[in-house]
Amino acid sequence: MRYELYYWPTIQGRGEFVRLALEEAGAEYADVARGLAGEDEGEQELVRHLEDDRLVTPPFAPPFLKAGDLVIAQTANILLFLGRRHGLAPRDEAGRLWTNQLQLTIADAVVEVHDCHHPIASSLYYEDQKKEARRRAEDLRARRLPKFLGYFDQVLARNPRGPGHLVGRRCTYADLSLFQFVAGLRYAFPKAAARLLDSRPRL
């Protein structure tokens, strides 16, 4: 099956978690908005699908994935679907739910990092909320990032199959997403990431 991924063409964002899973699975897919000639064309195509009033199960926002007649939205939901189909999650129900739980925790962490630049409203520019953003970033670096990274470090340490993966012995979509989250931290908060990751070598 050839999938169609819909996400904003100019940013990695939440769509990158889905791209990583599709690439790891070797799945055939079209990154629809990125595949069109111009940035404006890509966004127009994405918005056209968001506003399609024929859809019975419309997505609220990108990313969303078309798989045959299915339209699946929300990053964790898309990954839950792909994980089972492409061996990026355990076969048993408990393992699939655990992998999804980890993905949802990563999603929580991503929201907190994003909100550092938009602590008042995502509709406002960063420049309009710099003072509040500074305070939010301080709290994130001092309290929230250590908590999230410490949690994932402990999950790796407690994996009965070894600390190489979050779940079992094989790479799951949660491992790919944790990789993307850590890479994003290294970019957005290089000093804090270096300090926090230095004491958590499993990450």
**Domains of the chain from N-terminus onward:** 3-86 (3.40.30.10), 93-198 (1.20.1050.10)
pLDDT for the residue 37: 54
Percent of the chain at pLDDT above 70? 98
Q: What is the pLDDT confidence band of residue 20, given thresholds at 50, 70 and 90?
A: very high
Query: Cβ of 134: how many Cβ atoms within 10 Å?
Result: 11
Asked whether residue 25 carries a pLDDT value surpassing 80, the answer given is yes
**Does the N-terminal peptide bond of residue 63 adopt cis geometry, omega within 30 degrees of 0?**
yes
The average confidence (pLDDT) of the chain is: 94
pLDDT digits (tens, 9 = 90+) for 130-162: 999 899 999 999 999 999 999 999 999 999 999
Give the lowest-confidence range in 71-85, 129-143, 169-183: 129-143
Q: What is the pLDDT of residue 38?
A: 58
User: How many Å separate Cα 116 from the centre of its chain?
Assistant: 17
Indicate the pTM of the whole model: 0.93
Please tell me the predicted confidence (pLDDT) of residue 5.
96
The number of C-alpha atoms within 13 Å of 182 and in the hemisphere containing its C-beta is 19
Looking at residue 190, its pLDDT comes to 96
| pLDDT at 44 (0 to 100) | 86
Q: How confident is the model at residue 117 (pLDDT cuts 50, 70, 90)?
A: confident
Amino acid code (one letter) for 165:
H
Between 25 and 11, the more confident residue is: 25
Q: Which residues fall within 8 angstroms of residue 181, CB to CB, at 6 or more apart?
A: 106, 109, 110
